[in-house]
């Protein structure tokens, strides 16, 4: 099941004291499925020599590939976003979405498919769609029962509140291996949309499964193996 026993042992050690540490580097296989596409890709969290970090998801799809990356800095409590990018190359079509968090100019800007510039709120920590999932892990590890995270609307730049609440524990699986998981439900008051995250404390609160339901259908993300 595990190609790296060291990675598993590190995750188990971190789960015992996750609230006091930054999330450790990891590499894992995930499958992503919705009504339009099904793909398998690699999600990797890594740390660079200068302390900067990145979380990426790279997957191949029929006639193309998708690359998503979040660049940020992290401390024990929060994540500070620098850059978010999503690139999809399908046949002869290339689509990009890039968010830049400029704290010197206090601006949040988007280029690519959507173009806009907005003020970056000084009083709020703003996350991107990828590293928000790391912050969810941190909050649950710290024992939070309810919390809010703020993310920009990709089309307009409007900052929206996402409400999270802890539900009853449920069993989830990585392959054939069962885990008792913490269940977190996200609700966006502005939309009729609910997302459910299943986090395994034994794996350092990694997201083993994510279910997203909205008017466009169901989306499912599942952890298959650690690399």
> Which residue ranges in the chain fall short of pLDDT 50?
1-20
Where b means 16+ CB within 10 Å and e means fewer, 70-84 reads: bbbebeeeebebbeb
Spell out the domain ranges in the chain: 5-226
| pLDDT at 56 (0 to 100) | 98
Counting Cβ atoms within 10 Å, is residue 129 exposed (0-12), middle (13-18) or buried (19+)? middle
Token pair, residue 11, equals: 């995750």
Kindly report, residue by residue over 25-47, the tens digit of the pLDDT. Answer: 999 999 999 888 889 999 999 99
Q: Say what the pLDDT of residue 21 is.
A: 60
105-117 burial: b if 16+ Cβ within 10 Å, else e:
eeebbbeeeeeee
Strands 38-47 and 26-33: antiparallel
Calpha distance 226→7 (Å, rounded): 8
| Overall fold of domain 5-226 | outer membrane lipoprotein receptor (LolB), chain A (2.50.20)
The per-residue pLDDT for 5 is 46
For 9, the enclosing helix (H) or strand (E) is helix 5-15
pLDDT in tens, 146-155: 999 999 999 9
């Amino acid at each position: 099941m595990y190609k790296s026993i060291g990675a598993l042992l590190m995750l188990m050690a971190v789960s015992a004291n996750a609230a006091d540490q930054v999330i450790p580097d990891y590499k894992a296989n995930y499958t992503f499925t919705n009504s339009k596409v099904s793909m398998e890709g690699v999600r990797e969290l890594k740390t660079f020599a200068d302390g900067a970090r990145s979380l990426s998801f790279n997957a191949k799809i029929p006639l193309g590939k998708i690359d998503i990356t979040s660049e940020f800095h992290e401390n024990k409590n929060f994540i500070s976003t620098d850059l978010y990018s999503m690139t999809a190359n399908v046949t002869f079509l290339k689509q990009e979405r890039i968010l830049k968090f400029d704290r010197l100019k206090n601006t949040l800007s988007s280029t690519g498919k959507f173009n806009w510039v907005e003020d970056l709120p000084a009083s709020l920590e703003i996350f991107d769609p990828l590293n928000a999932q790391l912050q969810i892990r941190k909050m649950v590890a710290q024992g939070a029962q309810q919390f809010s995270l703020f993310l920009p609307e990709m089309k307009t730049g409007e900052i929206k509140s996402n409400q999270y609440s802890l539900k009853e524990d449920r069993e989830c699986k990585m392959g054939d291996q069962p885990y008792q998981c913490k269940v977190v439900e996200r609700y966006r008051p502005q939309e009729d949309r609910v997302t459910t995250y299943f986090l395994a404390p034994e794996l350092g609160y990694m997201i083993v499964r994510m279910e997203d339901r909205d008017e466009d259908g169901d989306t499912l993300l599942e952890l298959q193996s650690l690399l």
